[in-house]
């Protein structure tokens, strides 16, 4: 595409804009996100000037995905919404459905559960018997239900999605269903069973892209579960490997979550200063993104880690200061928990705050 661009004389030419769109999409998949944004914004501007509405919608959708990978969730929502508006006007039903799912993903990353569910229910009503779209919508719906602690409903949605994906040979969707079913077991307190699902997902993910986004997500989850099982050194090595992969892919959200896992893991290994550094870095990034569910988790984990440092006698003269800091992060987690209404950590956070108040 770069070589072809040199042959097209006018940057306002339709062919030039098409090549920019293709190049931007390709760069996004390669993890070169900032460069991708530049090409996609140029393509969108040219398509707007030429009144190429369908192409405008495509460029806006790609911009939404690229900005989502960069952790710019509010900007991502804005571009997905712009694409949705155009596609509604064009009555492009399948593209509308895709936009709705993309907006659902942004919504659940920001903790807007009802909005995410509403987008997904509308998508399901639109797609009819298009099995790939039905499958992806059910996977996303299962993830929303899981994050709200509705484990039975989540398992049902994900099992239906998995069966449909396996029946239709949709390998990526099959992998995602396994990944999120593993999350249900992890959040229910069964990390060993969760890892069985992650390992099955990894075998599929590696067949698609050995160093792709699915491999990265599954390795992080496996590392987190190893840590929950008390296999802290194994978890440490796996999480560090996954962090390098996430940085290579360019996914800021995933980098932040991996650092949260590494922070908890470092605390489990007695590396308290490193634990606090990782968790504070996570909080800063997630706060900037307005990624409220993960921000709540990180605040809760940091409060717990600081308390464990004090309880094990490793705080020294800093005990009072660390206790105050733990209290602040516990209250921040509690506020986020109340704002989000329903999460799988509600009771744990309530118990933490109650214990600190005594």
How many whole angstroms separate alpha carbon 170 and alpha carbon 285? 33
The pTM of this model reads 0.91
Contact yes or no for 130/147 (Cβ under 8 A): no
Q: Name which of 137, 200, 129 is nearest 171 in CA terms.
A: 200
The whole-number average pLDDT for the span 42-50 is: 93
Report whether pLDDT(74) > 60.
Answer: yes
Q: Which of 41-45, 186-190, 338-342 has the lowest mean pLDDT?
A: 338-342
pLDDT for 5 equals 52
Report whether pLDDT(9) > 70.
Answer: no
The whole-number average pLDDT for the span 62-88 is: 96
Q: What percent of the chain has pLDDT over 90?
A: 82
The more confident residue out of 246 and 250 is 246
Confidence of residue 192 (pLDDT cuts 50, 70, 90): very high
How many whole angstroms separate alpha carbon 130 and alpha carbon 36? 30
pLDDT for 1 equals 52
Report whether pLDDT(278) > 90.
Answer: yes
Confidence of residue 6 (pLDDT cuts 50, 70, 90): low
pLDDT for 342 equals 76
What tens digit of pLDDT does each residue of 141-190 get?
999 999 999 999 999 999 999 999 999 999 999 999 999 999 999 999 99
**Structure token pair of residue 329:** 């992060």
Q: How far apart are the first and last CA of the chain?
A: 64
pLDDT for 257 equals 97
pLDDT for 248 equals 86
Mean per-residue pLDDT over the chain, rounded: 93
The whole-number average pLDDT for the span 28-51 is: 90
What tens digit of pLDDT does each residue of 98-112 get?
999 999 999 999 999
pLDDT for 13 equals 77
Report whether pLDDT(3) > 60.
Answer: no
pLDDT for 25 equals 87
């Amino acid at each position: 595409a770069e070589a072809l661009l040199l042959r097209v004389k006018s940057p306002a030419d339709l062919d030039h804009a098409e090549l920019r769109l293709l190049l931007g999409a390709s760069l996004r998949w390669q993890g070169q996100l900032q460069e991708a944004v530049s090409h996609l914004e140029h393509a969108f501007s040219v398509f707007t000037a030429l009144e190429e509405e369908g192409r405008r919608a495509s460029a806006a959708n790609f911009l939404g995905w690229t900005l989502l990978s960069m952790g710019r969730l509010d900007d991502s929502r804005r571009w997905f919404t712009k694409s949705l508006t155009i596609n509604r006007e064009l009555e492009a039903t399948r593209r509308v459905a895709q936009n709705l799912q993309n907006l659902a993903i942004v919504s659940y990353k920001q903790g807007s559960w009802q909005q995410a569910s509403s987008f997904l229910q509308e998508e399901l009503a639109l797609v009819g018997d298009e099995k790939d779209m039905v499958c992806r919508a059910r996977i996303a719906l299962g993830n929303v239900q899981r994050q709200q602690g509705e484990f039975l409903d989540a398992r049902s949605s994900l099992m239906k999605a998995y069966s449909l994906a396996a029946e239709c040979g949709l390998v990526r969707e099959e992998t995602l269903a396994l990944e999120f079913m593993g999350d249900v077991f992890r959040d229910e307190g069964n990390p060993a069973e969760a890892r069985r699902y992650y390992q099955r997902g990894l075998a599929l993910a590696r067949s698609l892209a050995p160093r792709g986004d699915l491999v990265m997500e599954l390795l992080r989850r496996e590392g987190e579960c190893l840590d929950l099982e008390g296999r802290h050194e194994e978890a440490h090595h796996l999480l560090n490997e996954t962090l390098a992969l996430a940085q290579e892919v360019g996914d800021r959200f995933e980098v932040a979550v991996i650092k949260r896992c590494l922070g908890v893991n470092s605390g489990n290994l007695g590396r308290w200063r490193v634990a606090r550094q990782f968790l504070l870095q996570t909080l800063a990034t997630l706060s900037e993104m307005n990624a409220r569910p993960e921000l709540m988790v990180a605040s809760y984990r940091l409060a717990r880690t600081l308390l464990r440092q004090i309880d094990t006698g490793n705080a020294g003269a800093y005990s009072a200061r660390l206790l105050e800091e733990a209290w602040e992060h516990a209250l921040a987690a509690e506020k986020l928990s109340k704002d989000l209404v329903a999460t799988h950590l509600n009771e744990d956070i309530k118990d933490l705050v109650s214990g600190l108040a005594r």
